Structure 1
Amino acid sequence: MKRTIENIENQFETFQILNENGEIVNQDAMPDLSDEELKELMFRMVYTRILDQRSIALNRQGRLGFYAPTAGQEASQLGTHYALEKEDFVVPAYRDVPQLIWHGLPLYQAFLFSRGHFHGNQFPEGVNALSPQIIIGAQYTQAAGIALGMKKRGKKNVAITYTGDGGTSQGDFYEGMNFAGAYGAPAIFVVQNNRFAISVPVEKQTAAKTLAQKAVAAGIDGIQVDGMDVLAVYAATKQARERAVNGEGPTLIETLTYRYGPHTMAGDDPTRYRSEDLDNEWEKKDPLVRFRKFLEGKGLWSEEEENKVIEQAKEEIKEAIKKADEQPKQKVTDLMENMYETLPAHLQEQYDEYKAKESK
């Protein structure tokens, strides 16, 4: 049995296209992206890094609510999303707001979601996505159901969902993959392995050598990808999507990545459970630095172009937070009205009480 497990684990080698110096190490796997598409991918990564920096600052100023930093995971998040089509369905976890924004969610509504304002969850028509899931792993079962619905309707689209390494310890993780595998649903399950589920290292989450191998039990394809290499992430997701829409079933993608900041801004201190040496090791793998070197080597990127993106991001973030500030404040009665078409008697009494207070 031990040899059997080892044989399975050894099949899951890390898929990589660019090394840490931005050099191609797997020419055969290079995705067919034009120069403009490569630059657009870099644009999104730089923009998202600035968005993360500004969101952290806004949170510290008390102008945002819940926020989970994303720096370090841009290649994992945006590489997977860039391989999607507009009609595909995104089922995110709470750290995956960038994918929602690039899928069409207005930035000011992303800020309202962080504040807990109901308008932040009222997605515009045509934005095929659910609100970020707070319950760990629940999005996996949601994605399986959405994917099955697409299959039954004959749609050539996929549902993609995300969780962290800690999410693989949840029952919903296995149930979602097993269900999608059994029905051949067009789903893509992404595990963003940033090594720590809050403070718990991945080695204490599971005895498995990889998280990708957990696909074997569900009878679906699995792959482990260098999550700091945006081209590898894109290529793996593109292939998973093609398989799914061609009726070949779901795929589990494990991206080896790292979050440079805390788990969330709600008091987490990563210095208590992560060493300085480990942080330094992963900083050398920064996905923006790696892809920047690659593009500069092709003559497609410059400091001037990056500064333009930075300034654009700052200006649009400034306008978005201003628009979010202009939205009417959420009231207790709004919550009740949004939850119920007809209020039960015990809530009607409370509703009348709060309505009277709010009218003063």
Structure 2
Amino acid sequence: MEAHGPHADDDLVTMLTRTGERVPHPDFDRYAEDLDAATLRRMWHDMTVVRGFDNEATSLQRQGELGLWVQSLGQEAAQIGSGHALNGNDFVFPSYREHGVALTRGVDLPEILRIFRGLQHGAWDPEAHRFHLYTLVIGAHSLHATGYAMAMDRDGLVGTGDPARDGAVVCYFGDGATSQGDVNEAMVFAAVHDAPVVFFVQNNQFAISEPVTRQSRVPLAQRGAGFGIPAVRVDGNDVVACYAVTRWALERARSGGGPVLIEAFTYRMGAHTTSDDPTRYRTRADESYWAERDPIARLDAYLSSLGELGDDAREAVAAEVKELGRRTRETVRSWEVPAVASMFEHVYAEPHATVDAERAWFERYERSFAEQGVHA
């Protein structure tokens, strides 16, 4: 691993070492004071469950049940840690890999697979979960997130001092998205308007097959200074540090302090998607290096050292993961292909003459095959 530029790890906020030892941090310790053993066990539970779901989804894609799957393998601490820092007023704009954050927002994980089975563009109510639909266009949602945050501010939902009212936005994207114009434009608007948005970069070190060194000569967090946005680099495999840093950033944003950029330095242990072959662009040595820094094993070791994670808990979660896998398989295989004409539904909130005309044309087109005795 390179020890300079984008791969430098000597300035990361770390509060839990790779061997599971708790280390203090002068700036962020107070933001982790509420993490008692029960809360940490919940984080361990959530990371374990989302990884089990992730593996099941990968298997389903390999069996031809999904068109594509995007793994979050290895990024569980960044997602679960930051997700637990959110409150009910906050709104999340994910990209397409934030399955762990979805879990913390109450999304039923199997429902995510409707997207990857090609049935729907989104499968949950964004307002009910305060969690927007996945965005597969790289970085496009950063503009939506910034606009939403600006609207929250102008609607008086930021900086009032009332915790029941104040909220912020978190926008998740990967290191590759930082090279997109949309993300840079979003940061310009966010900085100029003091938008209450936290840009959370999961730097998993590869934009598909391109390493982060082909995107930046410096750590990505340093880009924040160019926009006038405070930035923090955090160990993305440390769930405690990810929680503490995100909590700090959200409290700042909710209080009217403006945007923050967080770079969570992690590693994509799986492929970019199930259509990718990572053996073509990275080494076994790198994979072994990061396997030793597995985020779940790290928290497991810490809880075990405290005597707070026994065999009963492990067995219970293993049974839960197995049951989730069974339910996921049965749910996915039970879905029927919707009628093609359903693509005209939910295009606009209100009736739309052009859509109605296109639907009518399509229905006539389909009927023409039946009239000619042609069967689909």
TM-score with structure 1 length normalisation? 0.91
Q: Deviations over 1:116-143 (max 9, x none)?
A: 2227434275211211111111121111
Note the C-alpha offset of 1:327.
3.8
Note the C-alpha offset of 1:25.
2.2
CA contact (8 A) 1:224 1:255 kept: yes
CA RMSD of aligned residues (A): 2.4
CA–CA distance in 2 between the matches of 1:226 and 1:288?
13
Q: Which runs of 5+ in 1 are unaligned?
A: 1-5
- 2:17 aligns to what? 19
Secondary structure of the equivalent of 2:318?
helix
CA contact (8 A) 2:139 2:173 kept: yes
Secondary structure of the equivalent of 1:40?
helix
CA distance 1:250–1:167, shift in 2 (3 Å): same
Moved over 6 A (4+): 355-360
Q: Which residues of 2 match residues 119-130 of structure 1 at below 5 A? A: 120-123=122-125, 126-130=128-132
Code of the residue aligned with 2:199 in structure 1: it is: F
**Mean Cα deviation higher: 323-332 or 102-111:** 323-332
CA distance 1:194–1:355, shift in 2 (3 Å): farther
CA distance 1:119–1:311, shift in 2 (3 Å): farther
CA distance 1:302–1:158, shift in 2 (3 Å): same
- 2:327 aligns to what? 319
- 2:360 aligns to what? 348
Confirm or deny that 1:200 pairs with 2:202.
Answer: no
CA–CA distance in 1 between the matches of 2:104 and 2:88?
10
- 2:236 aligns to what? 227
CA–CA distance in 2 between the matches of 1:45 and 1:323?
22
CA contact (8 A) 1:162 1:191 kept: yes
- 1:258 aligns to what? 267
Note the C-alpha offset of 1:306.
2.0
Q: Deviations over 1:53-90 (max 9, x none)?
A: 11111111112232111110001111111100123111
Equivalenced residues, count? 351
Residue number among 188, 193, 196 corresponding to 1:178 in the alignment: 188
Residue number among 294, 300, 303 corresponding to 1:295 in the alignment: 303
- 1:106 aligns to what? 108
**Mean Cα deviation higher: 180-189 or 305-314:** 305-314
- 1:329 aligns to what? 337
**Mean Cα deviation higher: 237-246 or 108-117:** 108-117
Secondary structure of the equivalent of 2:17?
coil
CA–CA distance in 2 between the matches of 1:354 and 1:74?
46
Identity percentage over the alignment?
Answer: 35
Confirm or deny that 1:278 pairs with 2:280.
Answer: no
Note the C-alpha offset of 1:212.
0.4
TM-score with structure 2 length normalisation? 0.87
CA–CA distance in 2 between the matches of 1:159 and 1:34?
26
Note the C-alpha offset of 1:356.
7.2
- 1:308 aligns to what? 316
CA–CA distance in 1 between the matches of 2:285 and 2:70?
23
CA distance 1:305–1:278, shift in 2 (3 Å): same
